[in-house]
Amino acid sequence: DAGVIQSPRHEVTEMGQEVTLRCKPISGHDYLFWYRQTMMRGLELLIYFNNNVPIDDSGMPEDRFSAKMPNASFSTLKIQPSEPRDSAVYFCASSFGATGGNTIYFGEGSWLTVV
Amino acid sequence: DQQVKQNSPSLSVQEGRISILNCDYTNSMFDYFLWYKKYPAEGPTFLISISSIKDKNEDGRFTVFLNKSAKHLSLHIVPSQPGDSAVYFCAARSGTGYSTLTFGKGTMLLVSP
């Protein structure tokens, strides 16, 4: 089975532009997560969905960030307008079930550079 | 406030020796702990985990130790191999219902031949 698939792998954009990151979770997984990795803060959870419904978006840094999951096989993370401090690696991850010890599977990440 | 802390940003070890990566946590509600490994340009991958009802879990060359009273866990790699060079993230989750993983900032391990 294919793992979590993210696109684009690399994105360089100018400040003020809209950025859309895309994710296809592992088939059958009912939880989807968006994480951001930076040197200063490590891996931060931005938002997660359960059965396509956003459960906790308290990690979303500000209103410029939004995430959607229109169906079980697709999610987007949008930044509008983008700023240089948004430069980071954005990971999408998915998992199955709510039992203790469930493993989260990560995609390869989207490297965003805002200049 | 970091609930999961990895205080060593990096660690260098010679091939064949033991690598010990440390992790401290502050949330006493955490009851399950995981280690993830991340190579450059790849996503983190699950390595090993431990439940709070145990104090040790072993999988091949990898062993995780948990000291609940000290709120401390460690990952031991014996013997270390150059292919183990990666960033290692400690993660924790709390018990009731579903909860997300809280990650540390990671420790970069370099194993030299």
Name, of A36-45, B3-12, B92-101, the range with top average pLDDT.
B3-12
β-pairing verdict for A42-50 and B45-51:
unpaired
State whether residue B40 sits within 8 Å of chain A by CB.
Answer: no
Contact A21, A86 (CB under 8 A): no
Contact flag A101-B106 (C-beta cutoff 8 Å):
no
Give residue A42's pLDDT.
Answer: 87
Cα A87 to Cα A75, A78, A112, B73, B92, distances in angstroms: 20, 13, 5, 31, 26
Cα B1 to Cα B6, B16, B25, distances in angstroms: 13, 36, 11
Which residues numbered 11-30 in A keep a CB inside 8 Å of some CB on B? none
State whether residue B22 sits within 8 Å of chain A by CB.
Answer: no
Q: Is pLDDT at B96 greater than 70 in this prediction?
A: no
pLDDT higher for A59 or A113?
A: A113
Give residue A6's pLDDT.
Answer: 98
State whether residue B20 sits within 8 Å of chain A by CB.
Answer: no
State whether residue B3 sits within 8 Å of chain A by CB.
Answer: no
Nearest CA in chain A to B43: A108
Nearest CA in chain B to A6: B43
